[in-house]
């Protein structure tokens, strides 16, 4: 009986450490900007999907949730903070929809079965990442007005970079799944 309690508490501690480290990795991925034409890309969407594939949806959602909470509370974890603001003011800016979409993308990338063929893995990753852009353009349209070219502003510049990240994850997905054994 005591052994079970010890194993359960070890699992909880291990999960908490993974969640904290994952939120740090997500913060680092937001700060590293890769020059990519026409818009510099960050690796945030890559890390969000990677967390889901690596650790499952529970850890991924907890990690992304912690990251968002840190940002809302004023820590400079978001891509353009503190330069363009911090806290709830930054969170409710143009990127809020994308940030909320991280939660859905991390859920689906952790919930869906990636032990299939390459083509299905690719489609599942497209499905998962689409929530980031769906929530992003809904919020962007609400914030700046639906008369603006929302798709051209909030999706099109990122498609090529997103395709690269999804292709990379597609080919690595089966190897990445091995991390789930450690939890």
Q: Model confidence over 9-33: pLDDT tens digits? A: 888 999 999 999 999 999 999 998 8
CA separation, residue 2 to residues 15, 79, 107, 168 (Å) = 20, 45, 33, 44
Q: What is the pLDDT of residue 36?
A: 55
CB 57 within 8 A of CB 111: yes
Tell me the average pLDDT across 28-51: 82
Taking 70 as the threshold, does the pLDDT of residue 40 lie above it? no
| Nearest alpha-carbon partner for 64 in 18, 98, 26, 111 | 26
Under DSSP, the state recorded for 37 is S
| Nearest alpha-carbon partner for 98 in 162, 154, 50 | 154
Instruction: Report percent pLDDT > 90 for the chain.
Output: 70
Cα–Cα dist 91/25, whole Å? 19
Instruction: Locate 73 and state its tokens.
Output: 């509370």
Cα–Cα dist 161/39, whole Å? 9
Instruction: Locate 42 and state its tokens.
Output: 């960050």
Quote the crossing angle between the two packed helices 159-176 and 44-72, to the nearest 10°: 100
Cα–Cα dist 5/1, whole Å? 7
At residue 174, the 3 state secondary structure works out as helix
Tell me the average pLDDT across 80-102: 90
Instruction: Report percent pLDDT > 70 for the chain.
Output: 95
Could you give the domains of the chain?
A: 2-182 (1.10.1760.20)
Helix (H) or strand (E) holding 104: helix 96-111
Q: What is the pLDDT of residue 60?
A: 97
Cα–Cα dist 157/98, whole Å? 14
pTM above 0.75, yes or no: yes
Q: What is the pLDDT of residue 79?
A: 86
| Nearest alpha-carbon partner for 131 in 55, 61, 39, 71 | 61
pLDDT band at 132 (very low <50, low <70, confident <90, very high): very high
Q: What is the pLDDT of residue 37?
A: 46
């Amino acid at each position: 009986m005591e052994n079970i309690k010890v194993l359960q508490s070890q699992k909880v501690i291990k999960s908490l450490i993974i969640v904290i480290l994952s939120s740090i990795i997500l913060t680092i991925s937001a700060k590293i900007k890769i020059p990519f034409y026409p818009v510099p890309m960050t690796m945030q969407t890559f890390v969000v999907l990677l967390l889901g594939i690596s650790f499952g949806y529970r850890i991924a959602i907890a990690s992304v949730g912690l990251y968002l909470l840190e940002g809302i509370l004023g820590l400079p974890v978001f891509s353009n903070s503190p330069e363009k603001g911090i806290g709830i003011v930054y969170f409710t800016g143009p990127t809020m929809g994308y940030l909320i979409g991280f939660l859905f993308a991390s859920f689906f990338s952790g919930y869906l079965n990636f032990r299939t063929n390459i083509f299905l893995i690719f489609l599942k990753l497209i499905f998962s990442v689409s929530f980031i852009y769906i929530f992003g353009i809904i919020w962007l349209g609400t914030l700046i007005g639906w008369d603006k070219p929302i798709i051209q502003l909030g999706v099109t510049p990122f498609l090529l970079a997103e395709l690269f990240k999804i292709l990379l994850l597609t080919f690595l997905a089966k190897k990445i799944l091995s991390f789930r054994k450690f939890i």
